[in-house]
């Protein structure tokens, strides 16, 4: 996988043509497919589940990055593993036993991520960072695509980056730092400079006519941000 990953969020895709949309965005250079699962309980919206994940799987020749916004978490984890998820991330507030849920995701053969809402402190990492494969910082409140980036996510990314680097030095393990919400061509460089290496973008990609051109412009911004650092 490249150093910086672009993960288009299917939430903003055309649901009537989901297989085509997945193939198009992969052909356009997506590194991951971000798959948002909303339950109208943990978040006030309802989206897609394991049956849809299984249906897009043959079209997704890159890993499927499942973002669970559901409560409870554990019941649905094995279903997504069977449906082809490579990474499964969840919100600590939605699980009764965060450490147990991480273990369950690993037992199902997937990589595990923990997601931090704008008001969720990073302190959860004190106890579980050595078992995580991905940390996801929300730069919007979860539930909807097309919201504006919350700037307080930038210092939070910096703090998460410091924790991840310290953990990686200690254990040699790789942990991805993902950002989700309001990522656009014009803010992706600042987000990268704050420490993110994996970038979810829904409306910024699917809202444009030429996915490849949009992803290429994002990569150019990322390359410039790297060059400047
Ligand atoms: C929000 C979802 C996001 C969303 C991002 O709850 O987790 O993945 O689709 O959409 P944009 O990029 O439009 O903010
Ligand atoms: Zn998401």
16-58 per-position pLDDT tens digit: 999 999 999 999 999 999 999 999 999 999 999 999 999 999 9
Cα dist. 118→40, 140, 181, 190 in Å?
Answer: 19, 7, 11, 18
Q: Where residue 160 falls among pLDDT bands split at 50, 70, 90?
A: very high
Residue 114 belongs to what domain range?
Answer: 5-228
Q: How far apart are the first and last CA of the chain?
A: 21
Q: Using a pLDDT cut of 70, give the percent of the chain over it.
A: 98
pLDDT score at 2: 57
Q: Known catalytic residue: 36? A: yes
pTM over 0.85: yes
Whether the CB-CB separation of 111 and 134 falls below 8 Å is answered with yes
- Total domain count for the chain? 1
pLDDT score at 1: 46
Cα dist. 20→27, 52, 116 in Å?
Answer: 10, 13, 31
Q: Known catalytic residue: 180? A: yes
What spacing in Å lies between the alpha carbon of 152 and ligand 1's midpoint? 17
As a whole number, mean pLDDT of residues 48-74 equals 98
Q: Provide the edge-to-edge strand list for the sheet that holds 111-116.
A: 5-8, 198-201, 176-180, 134-138, 111-116, 85-90, 64-69, 33-38
Instruction: Round the average pLDDT of the chain to a whole number and report it.
Output: 97
pLDDT score at 227: 82
The CATH number covering residue 99 comes to 3.20.20.70
User: Is residue 173's pLDDT more than 70?
Assistant: yes
Q: Which residues line ligand 1 (CB under 6 A)?
A: 9, 11-12, 34, 36, 67, 140, 142-143, 145-147, 180-183, 200-204
């Amino acid at each position: 996988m490249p150093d910086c990953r672009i993960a288009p969020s299917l939430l903003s895709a055309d649901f009537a043509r989901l297989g085509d949309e997945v193939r198009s965005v992969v052909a356009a250079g997506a590194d991951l497919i971000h798959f948002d699962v909303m339950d109208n309980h943990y978040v006030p919206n309802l989206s897609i589940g394991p049956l849809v994940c299984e249906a897009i799987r043959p079209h997704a020749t890159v890993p499927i990055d499942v973002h669970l916004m559901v409560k409870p978490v554990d019941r649905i984890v094995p279903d997504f593993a069977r449906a082809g998820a490579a990474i499964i991330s969840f919100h600590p507030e939605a699980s009764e036993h965060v450490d147990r849920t991480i273990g369950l995701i690993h037992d199902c053969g997937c990589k595990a991520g923990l997601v931090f809402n704008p008001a969720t402190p990073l302190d959860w990492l004190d106890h579980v960072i050595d078992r995580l494969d991905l940390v996801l910082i929300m730069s919007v409140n979860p539930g909807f695509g097309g919201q504006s980036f919350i700037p307080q996510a930038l210092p939070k990314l910096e703090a998460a980056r410091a924790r991840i680097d310290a953990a990686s030095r200690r254990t040699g393990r790789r942990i991805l730092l993902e950002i989700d919400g309001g990522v656009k061509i014009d803010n992706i460089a600042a987000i990268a400079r704050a420490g993110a290496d994996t970038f979810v973008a829904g409306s910024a990609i699917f809202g444009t006519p030429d996915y490849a051109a949009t992803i290429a412009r994002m990569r150019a911004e990322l390359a410039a941000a790297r060059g400047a650092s």
